[in-house]
Amino acid sequence: MTLEEVWNAALGEIELSISKAQFNTWFKGTCILSLENDRVSIRVSNGFAKEWLENKYHLIILKSLNNLGYSVKEIRCKVEGPQEKESQKSLGIDAVSAPIPQKEISPKKEDSSSFERNNQTFSQKETPFFSQRHNQSFQSNINPRYTFENFIVGTNNELARAACLAVCEDLGSIYNPLFLYGGVGLGKTHLLQSIGNTILNQNNGKKVLYITSEKFTQELINSIKKQTVDQFKDQYSAIDLLIIDDVQFLSGREKTQNEFFHIFNTLYQQNKQIVISSDRPPKAIGTLEDRLRSRFEGGMIADINKPEFETRIAILQEKAQEKSLSLSDEIIIYIAENITSNIRELEGALNRLTAIQQFHHLSHLTLDDAKNILKELISSGKKKVVTHQDIIRNISEFYEISSEDLKQKGRKKEVATARQIAMYFMRKELNMPYTGIGRCFGGRDHTTALHAFEKIKKLIEQDEKIKKDIHHLKEKLYSIS
């Protein structure tokens, strides 16, 4: 076997053991440079790929090579790549006359059907039921753009993704209903739509409907006006997979909730699959009817959190590749460090870079270009300025403890814990000195503040409830109201 064949065979195995999106992000475009003694040398196109291959995927790589009969113990990655582009530039190939780069690394490249699908235009706003596929007699509202293949997995979303995949295995029987929740722009709709796509692509005539709860309400109101409520309900009872996005908007709408409850029950009793998303857990959706809430809680609940640094990097790389945008590592790091809470905003940054790069026919962007282009986005996307008063107010509202009790007395356990969380936030978010923190709480000693910080830091790792509380508090603190 030539070296190239060896590496292709190894890649074939690696591809089976990680997700397609991860594979595309880290392994596409790699090649083997040498395989000598017990060391393999691999060429990668950037520093992240080097780091990930050497540190995170090294066991998988070793295993796949050793399965081919080699006994490799060490992996070395060499970063090479942008040179090609550099040499193009030095040859004077101008961006205007150069052919527009095709999507080099498309996760769905080999899939011919996806070619057509990718060319479909998507306009969710204009047409409520926009993707009519296969032998569906009605439109499903499923956008072929969102798939599991192009969904990057990180610790923030792996549970939610696994639950969604499980649902696709066997509709209606594994997790029913499946309830996903998480903040804005973190991939809920993407996952929901991926379920829809997977089921539609199975081509077995299953009826799928994706609808937002707002649209559902609107359609219900229309049917009431037109006196076609029965038809409205009949239409739903024929569905095999009902996906309701952003269910928090049902909150407080009694009539809608009531009809939804009946539809839900009809489907549920027939073992039809229901998947729901919301920006908060069922418990936290105010004025949700109890019977509906307990139905939601009766299935599987999975949350999606903000992506950690590595996941943000992986997402940026994947999306940049999709857009044929070549970015240096330092630009990717710059974006990942400055846009931390929302994947939609990460995409927004890339869109802006792509637009400017194409408009000015730039062959490559420097870090300063990128900083300049993203100036407004990053400074306006920056955290709202938070004060220690905001922290006290938020925590006292969240735990329903008066801010006086929080600051002064109150020795009950809940009050003491809430106070420690407030101290933790002041240190973590505002980087206040411990003495200053002590002063905010009736002149307590700085060691009390230090102890509180350490204690909460530890609890976040051990106690799921505290972890979630902190997560919600932080979101609440920075949300602009």
Give residues in contact with ligand ADP (CB under 6 A): 146, 150-152, 157, 182, 184-190, 315, 343-344, 347
C-alpha to C-alpha distance for 131 and 121, rounded to whole angstroms:
10
Q: First CA to last CA across the chain, in angstroms?
A: 63
Nearest to ligand ADP of 344, 360 (CB atom)? 344
- Give the nearest distance from C-beta 250 to Mg ion in angstroms: 15
Nearest to Mg ion of 124, 358 (CB atom)? 124
Query: Residue 250: how many CB atoms within 10 A of its CB?
Result: 24
- Give the nearest distance from C-beta 372 to ligand ADP in angstroms: 24
**Interaction partner, residue 438 (Mg ion, ligand ADP, none; CB < 5-8 Å by kind):** none
- Give the nearest distance from C-beta 279 to ligand ADP in angstroms: 8
Tell whether residue 141 is a contact of Mg ion (CB under 5 A).
no
**Interaction partner, residue 260 (ligand ADP, Mg ion, none; CB < 5-8 Å by kind):** none
**Interaction partner, residue 190 (ligand ADP, Mg ion, none; CB < 5-8 Å by kind):** ligand ADP
**Interaction partner, residue 106 (Mg ion, ligand ADP, none; CB < 5-8 Å by kind):** none
- Give the nearest distance from C-beta 188 to ligand ADP in angstroms: 3
- Give the nearest distance from C-beta 125 to ligand ADP in angstroms: 14
Nearest to Mg ion of 54, 214 (CB atom)? 214
Applying the rule CB under 5 A, the residues between 164 and 193 that interact with Mg ion are 188-189
**Interaction partner, residue 282 (Mg ion, ligand ADP, none; CB < 5-8 Å by kind):** none
- Give the nearest distance from C-beta 441 to ligand ADP in angstroms: 36
- Of 377, 376, 327, 370, nearest to 348 (Cα)? 377
Tell whether residue 394 is a contact of Mg ion (CB under 5 A).
no
Nearest to Mg ion of 191, 466 (CB atom)? 191
Query: Residue 219: how many CB atoms within 10 A of its CB?
Result: 16
Nearest to ligand ADP of 35, 184 (CB atom)? 184
**Interaction partner, residue 157 (Mg ion, ligand ADP, none; CB < 5-8 Å by kind):** ligand ADP
**Interaction partner, residue 184 (ligand ADP, Mg ion, none; CB < 5-8 Å by kind):** ligand ADP
Angle between helices 213-225 and 229-237 (to 10 degrees): 140
Nearest to ligand ADP of 183, 438 (CB atom)? 183
**Interaction partner, residue 50 (ligand ADP, Mg ion, none; CB < 5-8 Å by kind):** none
Task: List interacting residues with Mg ion (CB under 5 A).
Answer: 188-189
